[in-house]
């Protein structure tokens, strides 16, 4: 088992880097989305798309632009997957079958990156670069755009439902934020040993005297944006447990930082754009508290949990890389399920029962700890609205957030947002375990088998993408079911958030009074944390009791 000082050191490095980048990166992103200037390369893109980047769109127009772009992305990616055997750089890969191509296209466009195929056995280099990597950038930029639209709605007064320009937000998020960060991260990963080439399969001699058939490819560039954009799709089936994707402990630490850095910087962006940086610190405190709790409990479960004998067996090491150890695997697992990333450096099927249950629970929080790029911020702001509403009920006052009143229409939109994901998770899980075609994919009977299905539906319905590897999810049934879950739980919540942004933008900002609940103090932070956990607990405790909890007790 790793010495305690190594465990604390790797966690300390992650926290220090996040602390050092929070203010400059968050402030920079606020300037990017508030600037009136367009770069020359951006103007060329607008001319190519034939859009006006200076048009201030109503929320409904913003939504239609987003949906149109996403639909076109699904169709293009589907075509690339189906036709890749006739395209250059296919490295001998056949075209995907219709169900797998559908699932893959929906998965990467929705920022889920669920893979029902093995990366090195199904995706050629052109599909990886022109299809999957491109969607890693733009799907992350879409999430950021929605978050910024909601922030604008809170910051503006009597703006008649206008929340910005989708095309401008999409291009700026991709060109000015994600692309430069991904470029630097890819160089660092190459320096750490991650491969970056256009080679096909080659035979490599092993230390045991045998031969191994390995695929080369543009891995470092894919790995950088996969983590940075909280995407998660692996170039190889082993994902970030593969030595060509994640060779050393320090590249592992870098990848953890990459998947956390933008979500943890966005609260600063929020505080700057609404003109009250204390609000950003409060959001950061909620995200940080939930993430720290998830890391602590997952690490305990994997290193010193019930039924383990760390001194004899080196903790729970089955399914984990010796290069990283159980604590680094637990840190990665808690971070990837808390950020809607879905990348893994160990097999979550091999986590202990409480450790696996904790990763499921972290996703069930709505992935706000700290959540996906953009989606974490707008998800947490929705939970903050619920907290304000609950507090208003307790003191008998009309609830307000940043001077915007939370009325019947606002709380209706928020309530629908909260219900969408649990409905898809529970209904989808019920269908999978009730139908023979769904049960055929379960590898283990009993509570662990239920956990396999529950994890898959939770991952798809939260746009995460990680999996309990024991579930045979490559069937047509799971391709279609999970594809529907990914589509609905990506775009229905986005539509509700943009509708909420439009409602706020149309309101006149009301000055704070003596009866206004301060939303920047520790009391409110604690209230939001409690609301987040209670909402999840009341919704999912029954099904968790039948899966991870029963398995832990047995």
The structure's pTM equals: 0.94
Place of tokens 């290193």: 303
For residue 107, count other CB atoms closer than 10 A to its CB: 32
- The answer, yes or no, to whether residue 315 has pLDDT greater than 70, is no
Q: Is the pLDDT of residue 50 over 70?
A: yes
pLDDT at 210: 80
Percent of the chain with pLDDT over 90: 67
Q: How many domains does the chain have?
A: 1
Of 87-91, 134-138, 325-329, 410-414, the range with the lowest mean pLDDT is 325-329
Nearest residue to 219 via CA among 255, 250, 177: 255
Query: How many angstroms separate the CA atoms of 129 and 134, rounded?
Result: 7
- Asked whether the predicted pLDDT for residue 232 surpasses 50, the reply is yes
Among the listed ranges 88-97, 165-174, 256-265, 303-312, which one has the minimum average pLDDT value?
303-312
Give phi and psi for 135, each to the nearest 5. -65, -30
SS3 at position 305? coil
Mean pLDDT of 62-80: 97
Residue-wise pLDDT for 14-35, tens only, equals 999 999 999 999 999 999 999 9
pLDDT at 530 over 90: yes
Greater model confidence, 301 or 78? 78
Q: Is the pLDDT of residue 306 over 80?
A: no
DSSP secondary structure letter of residue 127: I
Q: What is the pLDDT of residues 333-374, one digit of tens each?
A: 999 999 989 899 988 888 888 888 899 999 999 889 999 999
Q: Which CA distances in Å does 268 have to 21, 24, 277, 431?
A: 10, 9, 7, 41
What does the block give as tokens for 150? 């909601």
Identify the DSSP state of 84.
G
The more confidently predicted of residues 184 and 551 is: 184
Widest pairwise Cα distance in the chain: 77
Residue 188 to residue 219: CA distance in whole angstroms: 13
Q: pLDDT band for position 305 (50/70/90)? A: low
Counting residues of the chain whose pLDDT is more than 70, the rounded percentage is 97
Label the pairing between strands 211-215 and 201-205: antiparallel
> Does the pLDDT at position 332 exceed 70?
yes
Q: With bands split at pLDDT 50, 70 and 90, how would you rate the model's confidence at 244?
A: very high
pLDDT tens digits for range 485-499: 999 999 999 999 999
pLDDT of residue 298: 92
Which residues in 261-270 are b (16+ Cβ under 10 Å) and which e?
A: bbbbbbbbbb
Greater confidence (538 vs 265) lies with: 265
Query: Helices in 35-58 by DSSP H: which ranges?
Result: 40-49
Contact 491, 375 (CB under 8 A): no
More confident residue, 459 or 1: 459
The two tokens of residue 152 are 């604008």
- In the predicted model, what is the mean pLDDT of residues 72-77? 97
Mean pLDDT of the chain: 90
Q: What is the mean pLDDT of residues 305-332?
A: 69
* CA atoms of 84 and 90, how far apart (whole Å): 6
Residue 350: the pLDDT is: 83
Alpha helices in 84-207 (DSSP H): 98-109, 119-122, 125-126, 134-155, 166-172, 179-191
> Minimal CA–CA distance to 116: which of 437, 360, 481, 547?
481
d(Cα 147, Cα 526) in Å, to the nearest integer? 23
Helix (H, G, I), strand (E, B) or coil at 87: coil
Q: For residues 164-170, give the mean pLDDT.
A: 96
Task: Estimate to the nearest angstrom the gap between the alpha carbon of 163 and the chain centroid.
Answer: 24
pLDDT attached to residue 2: 58
Question: Does the CA dihedral 396-401-406-410 come out positive or negative?
Answer: negative
Burial class (CB in 10 A: 0-12, 13-18, 19+), 157: middle
- Chain centroid to CA 29: how far? 19
Q: For 168-177, 285-294, 336-345, 446-455, which range has the lowest pLDDT when averaged over its residues?
A: 446-455
| pLDDT at residue 3, rounded to an integer | 58
Q: State the Cα torsion 56-59-60-64 to the nearest 10°.
A: 70
Tokens 């966690």 belong to which residue?
11
Residue 313 pLDDT greater than 70, yes or no: no
3-state secondary structure labels for all residues of 364-404: HCCCCCCCCCCHHHHHHHHHHHHHHHHHHHHHCCCCEECCE
State the Cα–Cα distance between residues 272 and 280, nearest whole angstrom.
8
In this model, does residue 394 exceed pLDDT 90? no
For residues 502 and 314, the model is more confident at: 502
The whole-angstrom separation of Cα 6 and Cα 8 is 5
Asked whether residue 311 carries a pLDDT value surpassing 50, the answer given is no
Residue 153 and residue 501 in contact, taking contact as beta carbons nearer than 8 Å: yes
3-class DSSP state of 202: strand
Expressed in percent and rounded to 5, the helix, strand and coil fractions of the chain are 65, 5, 30
Task: Give the whole-angstrom CA distance, residue 141 versus residue 173.
Answer: 5
**Structural domain boundaries, residue 367:** 4-553
Cβ 185 vs Cβ 228: under 8 Å: yes
Whether the pLDDT of residue 96 is over 80: the answer is: yes
| Torsion sign (Cα): 148, 153, 159, 161 | positive
Q: Are 113 and 483 in contact (CB under 8 A)?
A: no
CA pair distance 268, 278, nearest whole angstrom: 9
Per-residue exposure over 492-514, b if at least 16 CB sit within 10 Å of its own CB, e if not: ebbbbbbbbbbbbbbbebeeeee
On whether the CB atoms of residues 529 and 383 are closer than 8 A, the answer is no
State both tokens at 510.
């009301």
Tokens of residue 193, six digits: 């040993």
Distance between CA atoms of 448 and 468, rounded to whole angstroms? 10
Tell me what pLDDT residue 470 has: 74
């Amino acid at each position: 088992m790793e010495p305690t000082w190594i465990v604390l050191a790797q966690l300390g490095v992650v926290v220090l880097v996040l602390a050092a980048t929070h203010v400059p990166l968050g402030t920079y992103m606020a300037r990017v989305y508030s600037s009136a200037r367009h770069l020359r390369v951006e103007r060329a893109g607008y001319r190519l798309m034939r859009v006006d980047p200076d048009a201030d769109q109503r929320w409904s127009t913003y939504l239609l632009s987003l949906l149109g772009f996403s639909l076109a992305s699904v169709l293009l990616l589907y075509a690339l997957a189906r036709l890749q055997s006739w395209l250059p750089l296919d490295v001998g890969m056949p075209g995907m079958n219709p169900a797998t191509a559908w699932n893959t296209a929906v998965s990467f466009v929705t920022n889920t990156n669920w893979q029902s195929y093995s990366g090195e056995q199904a995706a050629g280099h052109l599909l990886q670069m022109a299809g999957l990597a491109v969607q890693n950038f733009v799907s992350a930029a879409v999430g950021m755009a929605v978050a910024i639209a909601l922030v604008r709605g809170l910051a503006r007064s009597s703006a008649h439902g206008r929340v910005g320009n989708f095309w401008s937000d999409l291009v700026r998020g991709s060109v000015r934020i994600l692309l430069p960060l991904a470029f630097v991260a890819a160089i660092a990963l190459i320096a750490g040993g991650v491969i970056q080439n256009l080679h096909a399969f080659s035979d490599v001699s092993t230390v045991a005297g045998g031969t191994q058939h390995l695929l080369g490819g543009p891995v470092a560039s894919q790995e950088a944006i996969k983590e940075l954009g909280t995407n998660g799709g692996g170039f190889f089936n082993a994902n970030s447990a593969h030595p060509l994707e994640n060779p050393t402990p320090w590249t592992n630490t870098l990848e953890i930082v990459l998947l956390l850095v933008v979500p943890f910087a966005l609260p600063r962006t929020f505080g700057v754009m609404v003109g009250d940086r204390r609000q950003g610190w409060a959001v950061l405190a909620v995200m940080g508290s939930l993430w720290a709790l998830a890391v602590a409990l997952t690490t305990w479960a994997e290193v010193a949990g019930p039924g383990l004998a760390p001194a004899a067996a080196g903790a729970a090491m089955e399914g984990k890389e010796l290069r990283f150890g159980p604590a680094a695997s637990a840190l990665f697992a808690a971070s990837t399920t808390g950020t809607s990333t879905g990348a893994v450096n160990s097999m979550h099927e091999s986590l202990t029962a409480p450790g696996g249950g904790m990763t499921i629970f972290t996703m069930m929080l709505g992935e706000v700890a700290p959540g996906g790029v953009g989606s974490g911020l707008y998800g947490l702001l929705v939970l903050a609205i619920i907290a304000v509403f609950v507090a208003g009920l307790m003191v008998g006052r009309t609830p307000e957030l940043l001077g915007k009143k939370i009325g019947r229409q606002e709380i209706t939109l928020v309530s629908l947002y909260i219900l969408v994901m649990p409905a898809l998770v529970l209904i989808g899980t019920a269908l999978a375990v009730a139908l023979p075609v769904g049960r055929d994919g379960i590898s283990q009977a009993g509570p662990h088998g239920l956990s396999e299905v529950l994890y898959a539906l939770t991952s798809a319905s939260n746009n995460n993408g990680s999996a309990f590897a024991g579930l045979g999810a490559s069937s047509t049934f799971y391709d279609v079911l999970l594809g529907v879950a990914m589509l609905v739980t990506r775009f229905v919540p986005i539509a509700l958030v943009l509708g909420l942004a439009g409602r706020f933008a149309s309101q006149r900002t009301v000055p704070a009074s003596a009866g206004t609940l301060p939303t920047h103090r520790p009391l409110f932070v604690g209230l939001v944390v409690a609301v987040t956990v209670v909402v999840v607990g009341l919704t999912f405790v029954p099904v968790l009791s039948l899966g991870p909890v029963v398995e832990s007790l047995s």
